Amino acid sequence: MAVKSNHVTIKGIKDGLVFLLDDQCELEELLGELRYKLEHSHQNILTGPIIHVDVKLGSRQISEEEKQTILDILKQKGNLLIRNVESPPLESELSLVEKLTLKTGMVRSGQVLHHEGDLLFLGDVNPGGTISCTGDIYILGALRGTAHAGVDGNEEAIIAASYFAPTQLRISQMISRPPDEWETRETVMEFAYLKDGSMEIDKISNISRLGRDFNVFKGV
């Protein structure tokens, strides 16, 4: 049965082949045409010596399982060596830095900075100043005022700062004031999070345990 659609385009390049896969059609239709073309087209190339292949999916987002299905189809031709598969990452696979909104400046006493989502703030939050977010708060600077993360009830939110000496911390509905000795101890890069209904403080180097990316603070 002939496949009349043209969702798979195979182009020769200097050092191999490029498979251009249509990003607008249904995935199953695309996979069907890919199988067909590998069996019935370009046999002089697809049955020859080892050849490198780049696969370009345009704007189509695929899961790891779907990606493996495409690779398995291509690998049925033993001479095709898959070099690269280009597709935009899934939202869940975006790095922390890609998800953050960057704002710069200084939050002075009496000022309130609010943001919807996750925030990377480059600057200081002074005593009497407040920074709040529906998501995570990452401060590349001194946190000496109030920080409130997860203001809409997100108990998974965290607050992190490269200089951690807050007046008050809030995550969701949980409020925590620093201990009396807070001002006397050495301040370090730390973050706050909720665990078993209470607020915990830990070194920023342990932030990856919560699935967050320590790379935000590297080099600062």
Percent of the chain scored above 90 by pLDDT?
A: 45
Lowest mean pLDDT among 132-136, 168-172, 202-206: 202-206
Of residues 130 and 198, more confidently modeled: 130
pLDDT tens-digit profile of 85-127? 888 766 555 555 667 889 999 999 999 999 999 999 999 999 9
Domains of the chain by start residue, with CATH: 8-91 (3.30.750), 96-217 (2.160.20.70)
Q: Is 156 exposed, middle or buried (0-12, 13-18, 19+ CB in 10 A)?
A: middle
Give me 194's structure tokens. Answer: 């909720």
